[in-house]
Amino acid sequence: MQEKKPALELEGKVALISGGARGIGAAIATLFETRGARVVVADISFSEERHERGRLFLPLDVSQPGAWAQTVASTLRVFGRLDILVNSAGIFTVAAIKDETPERFMRMAQINQLGVFLGMQAVLEALQASGGGSIVNLSSAAGLTGTPRTIGYSATKWAVRGMTKVAALEFAPFNIRVNSIHPAAVATPMLGDMAANAGKSTPIGRVALPEEVAELALFLASDASRYSTGSEFVCDGGLTAGSALQG
Ligand SMILES: NC(=O)c1ccc[n+]([C@@H]2O[C@H](COP(=O)([O-])OP(=O)(O)OC[C@H]3O[C@@H](n4cnc5c(N)ncnc54)[C@H](O)[C@@H]3O)[C@@H](O)[C@H]2O)c1
């Protein structure tokens, strides 16, 4: 008798990961490949297209609509299909409300918020052509609660959470699921030196590793999560569970 395929794998699927050059996106790319996916990493830090050891690297500024169209076209040219989009590209600045500038606020909105909308819009037709798919958006614990000194960043991460639900409702008829991931502090270049201290305030007492967030992304990208859409998946060491009274 033929063995049933495990649901938590990506055999035969093509995954496009924005911001995949480093940090959480890079960990997701590596894990997805080990589970059978063909992976496209698209990042502003790449200057040209490369196809190396089965992985496609594409230059992409997620805030540019034309650039997304080119990224999807290159993916289809090389791999012939697209099944998964992970919107991981993002930027983060720390500033109190009194100090935040309109320029920084709008730059975060363009990349973290507009970029996610443009990505979901750009892949729709390709996912439909594949018979469905999964979109995973990186929001944050800052998209679930208030976090001081992150007015611009938090605004974008709440927006990602909301846009995820809108897309989930619009795309469900096409068998496309859309969910958001909400990590707290993750040890990546985004946090740099802040990571060690940030981890201390979580009940688990440490920061997450990017590989731990990648495990959640794998679940959401794979058929193991086939009945989940429009939902928030938290990976925060207990940070948003509440605060214990100190006795
Ligand atoms: N690290 C954390 O503590 C943490 C916590 C919660 C949520 N997140 C979210 O997870 C995602 C990934 O974060 P990370 O920690 O891996 O960050 P990172 O800074 O390590 O990596 C981000 C990647 O995005 C790319 N990028 C930036 N602007 C871009 C643009 N305009 N177009 C395309 N690519 C662009 C960068 O070149 C980089 O490779 C982000 O959306 C972030 O907000 C991170």
Ligand 1 pocket, CB under 6 A: 18-19, 21-25, 43-45, 60-63, 88-92, 111, 138, 140, 183, 185-186, 188-191
Mean pLDDT of 21-37: 98
CA neighbor of 137 nearest in space, from 83, 179, 190:
179
Mean pLDDT of 228-243: 96
DSSP 236: S
| 3 in any annotated domain | no
Task: State which residues form the domain around 50.
Answer: 14-235
More confident residue, 134 or 246: 134
Whole-number pLDDT of residue 173? 98
| 7 in any annotated domain | no
CATH of the domain at 191: 3.40.50.720
**CA geometry: angle at 55 spanning 49 and 83, to 5°?**
100
Q: What is the DSSP string of 177-232?
A: EEEEEEES-BSSTTTTTHHHHHHHTSTT-SPBPHHHHHHHHHHHHSGGGTT--S-E
What is the chain's alpha carbon radius of gyration, rounded to the nearest angstrom?
Answer: 18
Marked catalytic residue, from 68, 153, 158, 219: 153
Whole-number pLDDT of residue 187? 96
Best mutation site among 190, 232, 234, 240 for ligand 1 pocket (most ligand atoms within 8 Å of CB): 190
Distance (Å, rounded) from C-alpha 235 to C-alpha 231? 13
List b or e across 54-63, with b for residues whose CB sees 16 or more CB atoms inside 10 angstroms.
eebbbbbbbb
- Determine how many CB atoms are found less than 10 A away from the CB of residue 12: 11
- Distance of CA 191 to CAs 7, 31, 57, 124, 185, Å? 33, 22, 24, 32, 8
| 243 in any annotated domain | no
With cut-offs at 50, 70 and 90, classify the pLDDT of residue 247: low
Mean pLDDT of 91-118: 98
Percent of the chain's residues with pLDDT above 90: 91
CB contact at 8 A, 87 and 80: no
Number of domains comprising the chain: 1
The question of whether 153 is a catalytic residue gets the answer yes
Q: Compute the mean pLDDT over every residue in the chain, rounded to the nearest whole number.
A: 96
CA of 36 to the centre of ligand 1 (A): 24
Whole-number pLDDT of residue 189? 96
| 25 in any annotated domain | yes
